[in-house]
Structure 1
Amino acid sequence: MPNRPLPDPGRFPRRTVHLDFHTSPEIPDVGRDFDPAAFARTFREAHVDSVTVFAKCHHGHLYHGTDRPERHPGLAPGLDLLAEQVEALHSVGIRAPIYLSLQVDEYAAREHPEWLAVEEGHGPVRLSTSEYDGAWSVLDLSSPYADYFAEQLDEVLRRFAPVDGIFVDMCWDQPSVSRWAVDGMRREGLDPADADHHARYSAMVEKALPDGAVQGAWYNSRPKAGLREELAHVRHVEIEGLPTGGWGYAFLPYVARLVRPLGLPTLSHTGRFHEGWGDNAALKPLAALRYETSQMLANGLTAGVGDVLHPRGALSPAVYRLIGSAYGHLAACEPFLEGGRVTSEVALLADPAHGDHPGAACMGAVRALQQVRAQFDIVFPDAELSGYRVLVVPETTVVDGALAERLRAYRAGGGSVLLVGGALLTDAAEPVLPDLPVEGLAPAPAGEAFLSCTGVPGVPEDFPVIGHGARLTAFARPGAEVLARVTAPYFPRTRDRFCGHSYTPPADPTEQVAVAVGDRVAAVAVPLLSAFHERGLEAYRLLLGSVLDRLLPDPLLRAGGPTHLETSVVRTPAGTVVHLTSFLPSRETPGLDLVHDPFPLVDVPVSVRVPAAPGAVRLQPAGQDLSWEYDGAYLHVRVTSPDGHAMLVVDHA
């Protein structure tokens, strides 16, 4: 290839495109309309700084100059499509990481069916519920296919070194009872570990990277919950999460906070599609793409948008008008965030057993904490906790003896703890902390109870609120502040004894408490977070907010505005930036939440804790000067913005 200067390998890409190219061997004229100059110009004008291009697709075919038989039969003789794509992108300073499909390879599956992963009692593994639909075959990495793939990867790395990065897709832990897997288990006495293959491929990629590269190999489809164990094999993280492609709009707020504490540069992918990958002939609204990419920016991630390149190799102008509009906004925002880090003061302590599928309690916590404007990360029990002011332990997080000791040490160091439901007791049924504001903890009899709240703004004190889920019996200790007591129904509802359509009405208050707060510790004896996720009852969020107000009376941020408003705080060398993201997905089909318009902010009060009176306060990227007040601890402003995403930029004097 020509000796052209590469894009800066030390600058992590900020506005990327993942250019899917899974092209059937039945399609002719592959790359026929490819124009290198138009290809590069389209991406440059759309503010794109990195494009992931294909060496090998799920069909198992290759798109570069090679003598291997897997080269796509529809490519014209002599056309090295991948090389021309890489050269065109590099000519305008755009990075070009290279994609290879790993465990999905139709060519290899057809030529070597003995390499397929096998599910006991069901035969070869296919990614479909029906043998009559088009479906991808899954290869077994304990078979000779691992060497076959390594040869393909080696050729790409030798041909294109130094590479901007390698994206290896379809990399999950696939159970198999093939003869290769069984033989491997017998030899090793255990199930073959994918980590061995990752180590092999990582070593190959490292040799082909330029000095100072921040991107190396990324193994897609790996669970993010296992990243701590796989850090030796990656230099960065990529998050795939198309909201309308099955992930939903709640996924990114969860997984971004789970990955962020690792400290690795992280790129998140959405798509330009109305639904998911492969919805080639449908575009999402601009407002949706603006929301998704602005949400990435506000969570401290860089942005990626998925597209599918037409088999003939020409980009769609309509697609890049859409992407360019969203990326133009990000490019205008980025200068105000240079050197910044998202700041969190609350940690949600998740159970690693739930992995990338957080379950009801964690999802309820994420929604509720966002809505009360808490600035939070999601961590596992082995994480460093000392940097957080409050820990929230959901009802589904198992507290063993080791974690209980860590919580006690954290408390001794001055931290505050909120324990919910089952997290009040260790796995040995002992109270987690010695100074809980409640005592007499034990599983309560089955059946509904009601929560009578006191001192919770927005929740009437004379209206008992239904409490859903299995709770604990608890009684207040002297000095505890009780925010919610238990009111009993007339009787538990059964098949033979019931009243009305649902639960039996509330009868009399009891001495039992549902929510109590002590000195830097709070106990919630009901599964409040799961119930909020499953029921969405406003009183549950208001209860959680009141507890946090007591544990964290001086939060980093306070903001009014609509409940759905998403906030984050970034500390930069020059000052403080507050992201205000206001879009409202709505359920418009049986399975899709859609976004059509930004939701304007009108005269929204925002207060952020800053160390001193600022030199200037502006709304960016609009460049609007704002009136402000400083009370010695908080900067107070009021914000109006019609655009869906704006940044309050505070320049420290």
Structure 2
Amino acid sequence: MLKPMKRVVHFDFHTMPRIDDFGARFDAEKFAERLQESHVAYINMFARCNVGFSYYPTKVGFPYDGLSGNMLGDTVRACHARGIGVIGYIHVGLHHELLRLRLDYARMEKDGTVYNYRAGANWFRQPCFFGPYVEHVLEEVKEVLALGVDGLFLDGISPRDCACPRCLAEMKKRGMDIESDADISAFAAWAARDFAEKIRALVPEDKYLYFKGLPLRVARDLNTHGEIACLASNMGYDFFPAQAALARGLYRGRLYMNGRFGYDWGDFGGYKGRASVENDFFEALMNGCGTTLGDHLHPAEICEAGIYRDIAEIYGEMERIEKWTDNADYLAEIALLTHDGTAGASHEGAARILSELKYTYNILSVEDDFSGYPLVVLPDNITVDGTLKAKLAAYLSKGGRVLSSGASGLTPEKDGFAHPAWDFIYEGEDKLEVNYYRMNFETAGLAPMRYEAYERAGLVKASDGDTVYADHITTYFNRDYDGSHWYFYTPPRNETGYASALVNRAGNVAHVAFPVFRAFRKTLSRGHRALVGKLLSVLLSEKLIRADRLPITSRATVLQGDAYKLLCLKVTYPENRGEGGSVEEHTVLPAGREVSVKGEYTTATCLSCGQMLPISVKDGYTTVTLPEITGYAIICLE
């Protein structure tokens, strides 16, 4: 049985040639001792890096010049002696040492280019995933498994178009068009998946295995768990929540890999600080994920003592509360649907709105079972074919509720709404790019004005009995050039009789006529959040968490245990600075705010301080009066 993977550290070790003191101050015993002191339970440890060097005695690879002994094997033994698991890391998507000698192993562009060193960085030369390179990696995998690792982390196995003679010949055998970019991409996707299947066949079932690069859904039956790598400092803080929601629908075990770096991977001299690492780790925990700290080991040394003093305190606290968190999982009340099994801009926008409004959610494929969710959201472009129509019909007939936006809910041909529950009249897409809306309800704290949609709208009219919550407003002209002026300034003009947001007569389907979630991801319009929030309150009157007195910047989720719930609250939030975001210090929430959780409980205990908190129970909700919170808190409801 696999020991639960948690409190992980991932060590990159991509090492260039000409490190003349390579390994001089590396000691596996001292390294493992520091990890043990830091409450680390697992590490991803380098077997072969993306430059192409191996860090163990290899018969098929290229040991680093200056390697003496067996860095990986010694680390496995030292860590195992202290109860720390070791996952062997191989970067299968890059191997410069091999490819500089064997160009016939390389991926080829359609113009015959094999590598372009002017591109710089790492990716100027890549292997082909169909041919002899596959066998080379399989032999590496066998060698690494023989060292007693607890699993494998295979990096960079993302599908990449290749037009080498081997790939084109195989495509012809399969009747594929070698001139078609779509066919080339389809073959590349097959080759990457086939490569992963060959590796999977070599790895015993009692070992962890993760293929980074294959989409989470594509590798669902190959991976032992799901991982989300996100350096929020340069990828943004909207990426992880949506990806976590997607992973929750696919994997029982999930990890969030952040980075200790100030900016990006390979940043030896960067450390974003304890508060920032804590923010990421708590975001992982409250989203139902374990934690991995991304690090890069110095080629001559062990890990940085100063950083791991912080990690010791953070992971020590996480270990202390694992008796509650290990057996609790994220509780979602809303299912966001996706057509292709990925989470894009619309899902990121939806995730942010829902998080700000304190709703909980998962992202599911249209193929998945969403019948257990009180509310389903079709964000922006989820058209409805016959199969999905039947599923929605069954869902609605049993009391389900649906919110759609943009082209969602329409037929694939976009000639009208696919299901009669959408009893609205669709008259096609607005010819004007710019449109506005006015909300027909009280918006406390928000100016009652005409808000721009920031996306082209559909022209939707209400039928008898429907309720319109926002009216469509046109502009004077389109944003275009007439030979004299570029019409950039496009003010609102008048109402058109169309609706921008409405609810059907049955009260179980709501629709926003423009892609509100993609627009929110782009603009963070407060009007968009208020509009969606109103529709959600109509469709889902008994939400899981009621937290009107918490800031929009805070986050709240619930984890379900066997006989308890964990209310997770995070009040720290990132600041946009320079080219990315950062967390310098924790935000403090004053004592006295109240949060209500659906369900009736007798006690509420703050896990970080052990304090019993005042509660009241009314109308099926338990209201907790919060203490002062610095950064984050978990409250156990029993």
SS of 1:349's equivalent?
strand
Q: Residue in 2 aligned with 1:74?
A: 66
Q: Residue in 1 aligned with 2:462?
A: 476
Whether the 8 Å CA contact 1:557–1:606 is kept in 2: the answer is yes
Whether the 8 Å CA contact 2:433–2:478 is kept in 1: the answer is yes
Q: Residue in 2 aligned with 1:199?
A: 197
Residue 647 of structure 1: CA displacement? 0.8
2:626 aligned with 1:636: no
Mapped partners of 2:201, 2:80: distance in 1: 25
Query: Which whole-Å deviations, capped at 9, do the CAs of 1:121-178 have from their partners, x for residues lacking one?
Result: 150145x7x2566655211121211111111211222x224x3111111101121111
Q: Residue in 2 aligned with 1:274?
A: 262
Whether the 8 Å CA contact 1:459–1:542 is kept in 2: the answer is no
Cα 1:500–1:150, aligned 2, differ >3 Å: closer, same or farther?
closer
Which of 390, 396, 399 matches 1:405? 390
Whether the 8 Å CA contact 2:477–2:490 is kept in 1: the answer is no
Cα 1:553–1:201, aligned 2, differ >3 Å: closer, same or farther?
same
Once superposed, what is the RMSD of the aligned Cα atoms? 2.3
Which of 150, 163, 176 matches 1:164? 150
Whether the 8 Å CA contact 2:46–2:55 is kept in 1: the answer is yes
Which of 215, 220, 224 matches 1:235? 224
Correspondence 1:233-382 to 2 at 5 A: 233-244=222-233, 246-352=234-340, 355-356=342-343, 358-359=344-345, 361-382=346-367
Which of 76, 100, 103 matches 2:93? 103
Whether the 8 Å CA contact 2:559–2:567 is kept in 1: the answer is yes
Q: Residue in 1 aligned with 2:529?
A: 541
Mapped partners of 2:66, 2:348: distance in 1: 46
Percent pairwise identity: 26
Whether the 8 Å CA contact 1:516–1:522 is kept in 2: the answer is yes
Whether the 8 Å CA contact 2:480–2:487 is kept in 1: the answer is no
Residue 427 of structure 1: CA displacement? 1.5
Whether the 8 Å CA contact 2:45–2:87 is kept in 1: the answer is yes
Whether the 8 Å CA contact 1:586–1:595 is kept in 2: the answer is yes
Which of 431, 434, 440 matches 1:445? 431
What is the one-letter code of the residue matched to 2:162? S
SS of 1:177's equivalent?
coil
Which of 565, 569, 580 matches 2:554? 565
Whether the 8 Å CA contact 2:416–2:426 is kept in 1: the answer is no
Mapped partners of 1:172, 1:235: distance in 2: 18
TM-score, with normalisation over the residues of structure 2?
0.92
Residue 541 of structure 1: CA displacement? 0.2
SS of 1:39's equivalent?
helix
Cα 1:477–1:105, aligned 2, differ >3 Å: closer, same or farther?
same
SS of 2:321's equivalent?
helix
Whether the 8 Å CA contact 2:158–2:213 is kept in 1: the answer is yes
Residue 389 of structure 1: CA displacement? 0.7
Mapped partners of 1:132, 1:424: distance in 2: 45
Residue 499 of structure 1: CA displacement? 12
Residue 447 of structure 1: CA displacement? 4.3
Whether the 8 Å CA contact 2:382–2:409 is kept in 1: the answer is no
Query: Which whole-Å deviations, capped at 9, do the CAs of 1:172-193 have from their partners, x for residues lacking one?
Result: 1121111222233234445352
Moved more, 89-98 or 490-499: 490-499
Cα 1:505–1:632, aligned 2, differ >3 Å: closer, same or farther?
closer
What is the one-letter code of the residue matched to 1:123? T
Whether the 8 Å CA contact 1:498–1:504 is kept in 2: the answer is no
What is the one-letter code of the residue matched to 2:577? E
Whether the 8 Å CA contact 2:94–2:123 is kept in 1: the answer is no
Residue 115 of structure 1: CA displacement? 0.9
SS of 1:231's equivalent?
coil
Q: Residue in 2 aligned with 1:621?
A: 608
Residue 340 of structure 1: CA displacement? 1.1
Whether the 8 Å CA contact 2:61–2:140 is kept in 1: the answer is no
Mapped partners of 1:346, 1:125: distance in 2: 46
Mapped partners of 1:494, 1:425: distance in 2: 28
Correspondence 1:123-202 to 2 at 5 A: 123-125=113-115, 130-131=118-119, 136-157=124-145, 159-161=146-148, 163-190=149-176, 191=187, 193-202=191-200
What is the one-letter code of the residue matched to 2:80? H
Cα 1:220–1:493, aligned 2, differ >3 Å: closer, same or farther?
closer
Unaligned runs of 5+ in 2: 177-186
2:47 aligned with 1:59: no
Moved more, 490-499 or 431-440: 490-499
Cα 1:133–1:491, aligned 2, differ >3 Å: closer, same or farther?
closer
